[in-house]
Chains A and B, each alone.
Chain A
């Protein structure tokens, strides 16, 4: 008699049939299977971070490190965005403003106050949270599209004001002077991007942990309820505007830190880059293309989009300017068309392919 499975109940794992071909590969299969088991996921992730952190020892090169650093920066920012946008359903275009708050905070603390950029990053975080709270409370009453366009207007206002503000270098941008090298001053040899990559990786790890933790708390549950049916959520007594504002404040925190690192790595920040619409769209795109409302979506999206964009910029120099956005645009169109749920949604397809390819190693579940 076969047991009746309740919907959503876990299917009992079929007992592994021990065949002759099993024993030959069992030396490697055991640890691999243990690592791939769902309950051991944190170990796998931790291992992946250690490998990534050590990777500059093996795959060196300034270009590679710079691109990887950018990936971590965008992944962290977009992870924050995804908390409000993916899980909360509020598509915001103002994360570039939070990013810029950190970038300018770091820049101004060095140029005007001769202080450590970390102070500026801290101030940037405070300012970003304040902006998120002040703009969030009135704007979260708006319907989704209205909210998105309103955040676009906030971005434009900020961009126009910063472009006219001379202490911030106006539209020409703020050049950050070189100070003695060190972790406190966030300055390292320009020939070596490894420290920034490691810092970015650290930020990414902390952000991932934070988002993972929030999703397990009541806030995460409320957010998803609000996204799926705001009226029903309200009817159940969830104060939707308040929780959206809470999510907005929490989710903006990685952006200014990422912005500060970004500015210190480039030693330059200007409104035409960090406060431009393409930049804020990129933060959104990274999460959407990777997988909206999934923990790993922004990381996968950043790895793909930023690597593509940066390599296009590196490989197609000068004379072909224009070809790069064309390719970039077409790739976005294609991903949007064929992976409309994000790249991570293609996981079952990949898993099936892997399973077929690895059919000889029986009993290993790739995912």
Chain B
């Protein structure tokens, strides 16, 4: 029985963390219908930033979290201005192709510059602490990463749903043309979406370094999980992505517990089945 409970708990924790990538993707997806294939690789860049802050200046990942968040904003806005904005008005598939190219270039760049080694932070401030309740044990880095992710997602949700800035974002998402008519500048809103998405990238970079190690190829794993979560949650829905991520996390964790190497396959199969039953995602409406 303990196996099942700890599987569920660790799935939920992983789900919270991965939800950050999904939320970052869903913001861009919701506002400009763009699947950003480079999102996972941008998280990889943020993870390396946090790693080098630790190895070079002995910054704990928790301490470099705000730095990573600010850097993330810069990364997001730069990506938009440099790669996506020149393609405004061009077919969405061209924008997708550009993010694919960026993904390959970032991964290759990291290989070239940093080598294929896996780098982790073995001893953070919080590592070593653990929480035990019955058969379930949770390590402090896991708990902090999940908690931080939830706080960050709540903040993003507040920004989008309860501020004037967020209202302009939603307006463009619903009808770009009408939004322009009432005086909202699409370019600013897209920058905003990429900026907020960048925050999630930066925060994910700092939090993932608590529990994972980084190598140049980690991006694709995060990205796939993120895409699936975005679709499962429903077009542009932040909390939909969050709950979808929890489902995927638990499915993967239980799959790994009982079927070992088929864990991730179980999660994707669950995704496909849910999609067949609910074609517009969990929170989507047709």
Contact = CB atoms under 8 A, between A and B. Distances in A.
A, B assembled together = yes
Interface of A: 91, 138-139, 141-143, 145-146, 148-150, 152-154, 156-157, 160-161, 163-164, 277-278, 281, 285, 288-289, 292, 320-326, 328-337, 340-341
A148 B280 CA distance: 13
A148 B97 contact: no
A326 B91 contact: no
B93 A156 contact: no
28 contacts: A138-B276, A139-B276, A145-B29, A146-B275, A150-B271, A156-B264, A157-B272, A160-B262, A160-B264, A164-B262, A285-B97, A288-B93, A288-B97, A289-B97, A322-B109, A322-B111, A324-B108, A325-B104, A325-B107, A326-B105, A328-B108, A329-B101, A329-B103, A330-B101, A332-B100, A333-B101, A337-B86, A340-B94
B271 A153 contact: yes
B106 interface: yes
Given A278-B104, A336-B101, A340-B94, A160 B265 contact: yes
Given A164-B262, A322-B108, A322-B113, A292 B272 contact: no
B48 interface: no
Contacts of B272: 150, 153-154, 157
A145 B108 contact: no
Interface stretch (B57-65, B151-159, B223-231): B223-231
B54 interface: no
A152 B279 CA distance: 16
B162 interface: no
A154 B276 CA distance: 13
B269 A329 contact: no
A162 to B, nearest CB: 10
Contacts of A322: 108-113, 216
A336 B94 contact: yes
B33 A145 contact: yes
A336 B231 contact: no
A258 to B, nearest CB: 21
B268 A156 contact: yes
Of listed A150, A164, A289, A334, residue having the most chain B CB within 10 A: A150
A97 B239 CA distance: 32
B178 interface: no
Interface in B12-44: 29, 33, 35, 37
Contacts of B275: 139, 142, 146, 150
Interface of B: 29, 33, 35, 37, 83, 86-87, 90-91, 93-95, 97-98, 100-113, 216, 220, 224, 227-228, 230-231, 235, 261-262, 264-265, 268-269, 271-272, 275-276, 279-281
Give me the 9 closest cross-chain CB pairs, A-B, nearest first.
Answer: A329-B105, A325-B108, A322-B112, A332-B101, A322-B111, A329-B104, A340-B94, A333-B101, A336-B97
B90 A160 contact: no
Nearest to A328: B104
A214 B37 CA distance: 32
Given A156-B265, A160-B261, 5 more contacts: A138-B276, A322-B111, A328-B104, A328-B108, A337-B86
A102 to B, nearest CB: 22
Nearest to A141: B279
Of listed B29, B110, B265, B269, residue having the most chain A CB within 10 A: B265
Nearest to B82: A333
B40 to A, nearest CB: 10
Contacts of A163: 261
Contacts of B220: 277
Contact of B100 (A161, A281, A324, A334): A281
Contacts of A289: 97
Contacts of A321: 111-112
Contacts of A329: 101-108
Contacts of B33: 145
Contacts of B227: 149, 152
Contacts of A335: 97
Contacts of A337: 83, 86-87, 94, 98
B23 to A, nearest CB: 16
Given A326-B112, A336-B94, A336-B97, A153 B268 contact: yes
Contact of B279 (A146, A148, A288, A340): A146
B85 to A, nearest CB: 11
B100 A285 contact: yes
A170 B102 CA distance: 31
A145 B279 CA distance: 11
A298 B197 CA distance: 34
Contacts of A330: 101, 105
B98 A336 contact: yes
A145 B108 CA distance: 27
Nearest to B37: A281
Of listed B83, B220, B264, B276, residue having the most chain A CB within 10 A: B276
Contacts of B95: 336
Nearest to B259: A164
A170 to B, nearest CB: 9
Contact of A325 (B86, B94, B111, B230): B111
